[in-house]
Amino acid sequence: MIIIHSEEELKLIRASSRIVAEVLKKLTKLIKPGVTTAELDKIAEEMIRKRGGTPAFKGYKGFPATICASINEEIVHGIPGFRVVKEGDIISVDIGVEYKGFFGDSAITVAVGEISSDIHKLLRVTREALFKGIEKVRAGNRLSDISHAVQSHVEKNGFSVVRDFVGHGIGSNLHEEPQIPNFGKPKQGPRLKPGMVLAIEPMVNMGTFEVEVQEDNWTAVTRDGQPSAHFEHTIIVTDGEPEIITM
């Protein structure tokens, strides 16, 4: 995994994550009943390229698009297309950007119009779980302190964390060591050091944590068909407070 040493590296990785944040913010505003995921994908790609970045997912292991757009029971890796989002849906948008050799990665789940109160709680708890994990991003803590904090918050609220997909180191590649599961005992794994860059990304299901992958070989869905939410940030470990660079 990369350790950020210089001001120049810091500048570049912040810049790549800033692009991710700007695009996600824009897409969030555009998500309304009637929009298609292909339209969102096109806007995201244009915005990234205009800023000198490259969509990091496009072509990654053959993924065909700039964003992952995962609706309702879709957990992650949904392929944008002509599906129209409708009132009451939730849509998870995940974006990765490469800028001058550095990567940023972030995801958000957005409500389309009015959603039910139980789905609203799912979104709230998933986002809170991400921030419970981020609170543990402190030099000297162990990696699984993050995992444990995420899992505890989710399960306390009656939901489940996905096991099959995990967070990851990031920096000069989209996915680097170490893997960051959203579950596990505390005080395990490597110690966090200043300069490490982590992508923490709880995927939280309303029902069972079991997943299935659809025939497109990408879209992961909940086995029981209940909804799932996903929030992710890219974070730098520092001597003090963690720096969230995709915000």
Per CB under 5 A, residues contacting Mg ion are 94, 105, 107, 199, 232
The distance of closest approach from Cβ of residue 232 to Mg ion in the complex, given in angstroms and rounded to an integer, is: 5
The length of the chain is 247
The distance of closest approach from Cβ of residue 34 to Mg ion in the complex, given in angstroms and rounded to an integer, is: 26
CA separation for the pair 5, 13 (Å, rounded)? 12
CA separation for the pair 141, 156 (Å, rounded)? 23
The enclosing H or E element of 200 equals: strand 197-200
The distance of closest approach from Cβ of residue 57 to Mg ion in the complex, given in angstroms and rounded to an integer, is: 8
The distance of closest approach from Cβ of residue 231 to Mg ion in the complex, given in angstroms and rounded to an integer, is: 10
- Residue closer to Mg ion (CB basis): 66 or 222: 66
62's CB contacts (< 8 A; 6+ apart) are none
- 46: number of Cβ within 10 Å: 12
- Residue closer to Mg ion (CB basis): 6 or 61: 61
Structure tokens at 239: 């001597």
The enclosing H or E element of 238 equals: none
